[in-house]
Structure formats: structure tokens, C-alpha cells
Structure 1
Amino acid sequence: MKALNAIRMGGVDVLPIVEGGKGVAVSDGLTCGHWAAGGGVGTFSAVNADSYDALGQRIPQIYHGRTRRDRHEELVDYAIRGGIAQAQQAHDINGGAGRIHANILWEMGGAERVITGVLEGAKGLINGLTCGAGMPYRLSDIAMKFGVHYYPIVSSARAFSALWKRAYHKASNLLGGVVYEDPWLAGGHNGLSNSEDPARPEDPFPRVLALRKQMRDFGLGDTPIIMAGGVWWLEEWEDWIDNPELGPIAFQFGTRPLLTHESPIGDSWKQKLLTLKKGDVFLNRFSPTGFYSSAVNNGFIQELRGRSDRQVAYTTEVVGDHTAEFGVGPRKRIVYLTKPDLVRVRQWLVQGFTEALRTPDTTLIFVTPESAAQIYQDQVDCMGCLSQCRFSNWSQEAPDYSNGKKADPRSFCIQKTLQTIGHETAGEKSPEDNLMFSGHNGFRFALDPFYSNGFIPTVRQLFERITTGR
């Protein structure tokens, strides 16, 4: 493996090894602090992070508000206190080496309020802000207010160009780096555009080279690009290291830090990672954000796939081939299906999928009574964890606090499932029954000799193995 040299990032020299920030309660101050202590860039998630009481016990995020707006305010308060707690923990462990970054999702509920509150309460503890899931134009303004570096996450040169021209050129001195997240290989939410085919992955090299050329046009030739998604062993990327065409490059590891002793995820999730096979990670569009996302194709995802598969279009009056009557809901209000679709529906009813739920696309999906009851309850319990949500029709914008659309039962409550899997206890089936994000290289845990006989490294052991090669 080529010698790995430090690069200039955020005003200091660091090893070009970055921990990827991962959603609710998964990338915490413990893993972040140990990663930074190795001389790299540690990242904790500031997305509804955990906070602790005076005895160091995690405070469960339980909501008491009667309205979604009330619960949203509770969520913002939890998120601010949690972000501060994780920043403090990372700082205490780090000991002054490396850098500590906070990761936020621009489409999370109250994103600007949350990160502003975290930075105010954790002054001097956070060196950088990483942000994706949307177009975070205001990220540079927040960075300037608090004097921290910022690291937008993009999946194309075009996206970065839009951000730069609209906002980032005003804070070029604080742009610490640009994260290129491969939309076909990265875990979690992915930045696939409407012009890109989810079934046709593209080589990242020309895409990153295009990003570098765009950055050079803006005078950013020395600003690092952080390659995220699909990175496993650095020797597989040797043609990227010290490549004058690409300029300074760092590498982000999101999936691999899941399988460490310090990782807060439960043991059953860690054991599941060791058994994944190629193709087990599924690129889907079930997320209530509307983005594509990459997750393990477990029972949770299969249930969502089943909802969409058991789907037929309907009309409220006879139109064309839609002539077959069907009664929906307790009052059996008549809608019209095609005759072939009515045959399919009758088969689903016999199988126990007796509840027909309307979608915003003038279709019906068919689920069991138990599933329907859970969908309705989860929609009622919404706490506004996203800026706007397909599943519950929440929007954080006044005066209506609604996105103006019908709630979509083909989606799910993302806050509920991520909180559940992130805080699983012994004996639970959380990895099968909840959303389990993973990068598409997750199958390599089972093939990599480093993890032979179920070996789970510490963060330090993983970091050293990455920097020294196989």
C-alpha cells in the first residue's frame, strides 16, 4: 500500500481517514472520540442524538405533547441536548488529536435550530459540520456564525456548483472539504438525481474528477474531496492517493465503524453484519424523505415491498377499464378497479390482507388489519422528525404544518424504527424488524479475513488496520 500522508483539512494536518456520520444514535461521541484520537476525523451524528442524566444513564426520548407541533418542540430540545452531550464525550476522549465533526441532515426537523443550539452549547468542542440530505445553502452561514469549517455532502459536480454560486462563495475560507458520496454504494440516504438510473452504477473516478475540475474553476484546487461510499481497503484506491488530477483526497468509512467494540449498536445487529451476502443491501425509495436509501433487505424492507406490490389504481367513477366496483373502508365507499385488478384484490383478501389504504397517487394498497392499525398509530404519533414527511404529511412550515398531501402508507415512521434498532436490547429481533442502513459493501464483512471467527475490533484496531493496509 502507498504511504498515507497527512493532508490539510480544516486548517490542520490530519490523516485522510474520516469516520462517516450515521443517523440516529449510531455514530456517537465514543466512536468519534476514538477515531479522532488516532489522528483522523471522527464524526458523531447530531440527528436526535442521545443525552444522559446525572448518573450517566441514557434519557429515553419519550414524547408527551398532544399535538405534532408540541412533540416537534420536544424533539428539537432532545436533539440539542443530545448533540451537546456527544460533542463533550468525543472531546473528552480525543485528547486534542485529529478533528471532531458533527453530522446533520438538512431535511431533519428543525435542522438549523438544532445545529445552532448544539454549537452554542458545545463551544470549542466541534471543529466541523458535515451536512447532506438536501441542498443545505444555509450551512455556510451557520459555519461563519460559529467559526467552524463546513463539509457539504454532494453526489455530483452540478450539485456543488449550485451550492457554491448561491451561498458558499461567501465563506470560501471555512470550506474545509467537499464530501463526494457515491449514490450507488453509500449507505443511508443517497443523492440519486432523476436523470440517474438506480440500477446502473457509475464509476466514481470520472464523477469525482468532474467535481475537482469544477472546484478548480472556483479556486478550490487545494480543498480536499472526501470520497464516501464503497471504500473498504485503501490499497484498492491507490490510483487516487497523491493523484495530481484529483488533488488532495480523503476517504470516508461509514459502514466499517459499525462493527467495532465501541459502536453503540446492539450485538444482534453486529452479528447480522457478519452474515451479509452480496446483494443483501437494497437501494429503495420507501423513505419518508422521498430520497433513495440503501438498507439491508430484511423483514422490514420486505414488508414495505409487499405493501407496494399489493397495489392497484382506482377511480371514483367509471373511467375506461375501471368498471369493477369495490368497497373501501368501514362504510364500503365504492371505487372502481379494472376487472383483472379486482381478481388480484380478491386473492389478497383471502390471504388476510383485508385492509385497503389509499395513497396520494390514487392507488390502494392492501395490508393486514394489524399492519393497518400500526400504520395509523405511527402517523398519529408523528413528532415532526423531518422538515416534511411523506408518511404523516407533516411539514415544519407554518401556518398549516402540513405538506398539503395525503399521508402515504407505503412509507414508514423513520424516527421510530431508527430509535428502536439503535437501542435494541438482548433478545430483541430489531435487525429483522426495523430499518437497518448499510453501505453496499456490507457483504465484505463475511469475506474479509480481518473479521475471521467473528472478530470485532476496537476503533483503534480498525483505524490502525486501515492506515497500514491488509
Structure 2
Amino acid sequence: MFKGLTPITYNGREVWPLIEGGKGVAATNHASAGAWAAAGGVGTVSAVNADSYDPDGKIVPQIYRALTRRERHEELVEYAIDGAVEQVRRAWDIAGGRGAININVLWEMGGAQRVLHGVLERTRGLVAGVTCGAGMPYKLSEIAASYQVHYLPIVSSGRAFRALWKRAYSKAAEWLAGVVYEDPWLAGGHNGLSNAEDPLKPEDPYPRVKALRDTMREGGIPDTTPIIMAGGVWYLRDWDHWIDNPELGAIAFQYGTRPLLTRESPIPDGWKDKLLGIDHGDISLHRFSPTGFYSSAVRNPFLRFLEARSERQIAFSTQEAGDHVFQLDVGVKGKNFWVTRGDLLRAREWFGQGFTDALKTPDNTLVYVTPTEKTDIRKDQADCMGCLSQCSFSSWADTETNSTGRLADPRSFCIQKTLQDIAHGGDTDRNLMFAGHSASNFRRDPFYSNGFVPTVKQLVDRILTGD
């Protein structure tokens, strides 16, 4: 047992301070969450478009049959609630009364509040707590408390938590079970980098977590309420100076990337095989997500494809102005596109390479794509089912008008489509593949030598040794 690490009391039960990160769209399900809880930790079911099953136990494909986005959004909410309820019930059965089961939701997912109400209403007594990030989930505490369920907000700074605490959480303080600090430079998936922070200059998490603890103390939150470190957590021995540290108070650890490679992990074998080969620098912190957030993913051909698309981009003016005095004559219809001489020459070169269609972005720029790309982009935008509260790619918004009021952005992509595809066996080169920046440890850690894939129990036992 790693020195200093002791069980904590959570939801009236002793558990290891090891939390499974809740990875959205079927990357964390009942099998992994139930096994993590059975090993004595806190398993996390992703309630982000979770899978449902038919009477034969086969996954029900999430097919959208309605003609309008609003109607498809209603289908999506129904899928989300039914799937998450099924996953929680199965995870509970696997856990067998050990550990605890949390659910994870993204505040910026479409219908987040409705999904949360729907899941908690139908899983009373099974869910210990709700982790929630990707946005500022002010209503999280109110919703969780109404079902007598704990809540664990995910933040990336003390400043963000202070805003949440003052506006809402202080009114339901007794149900705050912990605060997840998700490091915006190290964690996989969507990250909470603010405009004041440089994505290329990672900051040491220790001072940021200490500042978070100081903020919690200001609010009268006891040091026994743990801060859960998320992002970059691999070997507990690397965090030895955090454990039993009076400056930080109680500390727990969340594992997101490492549990992807277990036998119970639901991700396809092709994804698992890719993880074993990831090297340092293969994870990219990028801003192509239609959420508008930065996110970390494997820099595979899919991500490089998006990078290349954005590089085929020029600014335009609708009238002659400054050095925009050359009329664009390729990829556009009409004569109201004025560009610089250099951009005119670049556009002609791209056109000659087969990128013959120019698509407008919300930033008065044009990106050049092939006719096939254009068709795919337009189809994905038309098929939108409102999986986000606001989507830059399709201009969907979960509002009365169902529109962000901005032009759809062809530099982004349909996140629902690609995450569903990769989670259910799709090509790992042609889809977004989330992973944290510690993923390169898979090829360096001797635990995984010769392609060894552990069970969740074996992984938790290994973590508890410090390795």
C-alpha cells in the first residue's frame, strides 16, 4: 500500500480516494464503472449519450428519425436518459455493494438539466454523486440536493469555484462531496482554459490547487472535503508531497486516461491498440471542438485533417479596403470578395490542388475544401440533433430560436457523430480520439509491457502500490 494513502468516507461508506474519470459518449460505461467501484474506488458512469440495450443485450443504435432539429433533440434527450439509467443500474449490480457509483454530465451538453433530472429520478438510491464540468454548472447543487445526491463540480481554478460557491453552492453546502480540479493543460477531453491562460505555457498544478483550497476555506468548507486532482495522474508516487499536506487538505485522485486500457473498458480494441503506441507529444491541445472549449486528443490523421483545413484559410472584405483590393475569382460565386494579392495567389493554388469550394466562417474568412468535404460538412450540419447547448459547427442553440445567431463554422466538426463512431468500432484515424497528456506512459510503463491489458481490479491494485 502506498504510504499515506488512506480510505475516505464517501456517501456513508469507506472508499479509496481513487475516482474513475467519466469519459463521455460510451467511453466509460457500466462495466468499467462497476468494476472500479467493486475494487473499492468510486466508479463513474458517463451520462453523456450513454448506450441502451435491446432485449438480447445488443447496443441500440442512436438513430434520429425526426425531420427537425428540435424533434431530433427530443429524441437525443430520451436516448440520453434511458441509456444513463440502464448504465447506472448495471454498474450498481457489478459493484455488489462495494465502493460507490457516480455519474458524470457535461453542463454544455444539450438538455443537460433535463437529462440530470431524468436520470436521478429513475436511479434513486443508486447514484452517490454527480461530477459535472464543461461550463459553469450553477444549478448542479440545486438539482443534486433535490434528490439527496452529492455533487462534485469540475473546475480549473479557484476563481471559477468562488463564482459557483457564491452564486449557488453555498445554499446546498451539505451535499458538496468534493471539488474536482481538472488541470487544463494535462487532462484529456474538454478543458477549462480561460482567456487569461496561455495554452502553450502549462502552469504547475500545485499553486493552483492551493489557491482552490484557500478559496474553499474562505467559504467555510472544511479541509476534510477533498480536492480531487484530475489530469496527468498516473503514478501516485509522483504526488507523494500532496498526500497529508496541510496546505492542501484532503486530496483524492481522478484517473481518466489510464482506465481506458483495461479489459472492462468499453472502447474498441483498435482504440486500445493505439493507446499502447502513443508517444510524448502525440497529444494535441486544440480548439476545433464545436463547444468552443480547448480539448486534448490524440493528434491522429483526423486532427491533422482539421489543422490542414484551417490552414487553407484567407480573410476577405466585402468591399475594397486597405490591401484587400484583389477580387477573388476561385471557389466563390459573386464578386464581393476582396482579398490581398498573396491570398489570391494562395487561393488559386488550392483551387488547382482540388480544393475548389470556399466556405464562409463566422470570422469573415474563407476555408477551401474539396467538393466531397463540402458535401460531408453540409450533411453533418443538416443532421444536427442538438447534442450541445450551443454548437459552433451547426449554429444550434438550446434556446427558443434554436440558433446561436452566428454563421455555422466549417472549421469545426460534428462531435456527436465522431465520438459515437469511434466508441463503437469506427476508424481510429478518421475520428476524434480523446486522451490525456499522460497517455504516452502506456508505452513506457513496464506494467503494460508486451501489450498487457489489466482488469480494473489489477489496475487499482497497481495504483495502490504507488505505481
Specify the TM-score bucket, using the shorter chain as the normaliser: over 0.9
Asked if 1:439 is matched to 2:436, the reply is: yes
Distance 2:347 2:11 in 1: 58
TM-score, normalising length: structure 1? 0.97
Distance 1:11 1:134 in 2: 29
Distance 1:3 1:36 in 2: 21
Q: How big is each residue's C-alpha offset from its partner over 1:203-224, in whole Å with a ceiling of 9 and x where there is no partner?
A: 0001101111111111112211
Q: How far did residue 329 of structure 1 move?
A: 5.7
Amino acid at match of 1:271: D
Q: Which residue is 1:84 aligned to?
A: 85
Asked if 1:386 is matched to 2:388, the reply is: yes
Q: Which residue is 2:455 aligned to?
A: 458
Q: Which residue is 2:349 aligned to?
A: 347
Say whether the 8 Å CA contact 2:186–2:232 is kept in structure 1. Answer: yes
Distance 2:239 2:260 in 1: 21
Distance 2:347 2:53 in 1: 49
Distance 1:322 1:74 in 2: 47
Identity score, percent: 62
Q: How far did residue 333 of structure 1 move?
A: 4.4
Q: Which residue is 2:21 aligned to?
A: 20
Distance 1:263 1:45 in 2: 12
Q: Which residue is 1:297 aligned to?
A: 299
Say whether the 8 Å CA contact 1:140–1:168 is kept in structure 2. Answer: yes
Query: Following superposition of structure 1 onto structure 2, how do residues 52-451 of structure 1 map, counting pairs within 5 Å?
Result: 52-220=53-221, 221-327=223-329, 331-398=333-400, 400-424=401-425, 430-451=427-448
Q: How far did residue 330 of structure 1 move?
A: 6.7
Which runs of 5 or more structure 1 residues have no equivalent in the other structure? none
Which runs of 5 or more structure 2 residues have no equivalent in the other structure? none
Change (3 A) 1:156 1:10: farther
Distance 2:406 2:3 in 1: 53
Distance 1:127 1:212 in 2: 23
Say whether the 8 Å CA contact 1:328–1:334 is kept in structure 2. Answer: no
316-325 or 172-181: which moved more?
Answer: 316-325
Q: How far did residue 14 of structure 1 move?
A: 1.4
Figure out how many residues of one structure are paired with residues of the other and give that number. Answer: 465
Q: How big is each residue's C-alpha offset from its partner over 1:96-137, in whole Å with a ceiling of 9 and x where there is no partner?
A: 111100000000000000111011111211110000000000
Say whether the 8 Å CA contact 1:280–1:296 is kept in structure 2. Answer: yes
Give secondary structure in 2 for the equivalent of 1:205.
Answer: helix
Amino acid at match of 1:116: H
CA RMSD of aligned residues (A): 1.0
Distance 1:12 1:343 in 2: 67
TM-score, normalising length: structure 2? 0.98
Distance 2:454 2:92 in 1: 22
Amino acid at match of 2:100: R
Give secondary structure in 2 for the equivalent of 1:345.
Answer: helix
Q: How far did residue 8 of structure 1 move?
A: 2.7
Say whether the 8 Å CA contact 1:106–1:131 is kept in structure 2. Answer: yes
Q: How far did residue 362 of structure 1 move?
A: 0.2
Distance 2:17 2:311 in 1: 44
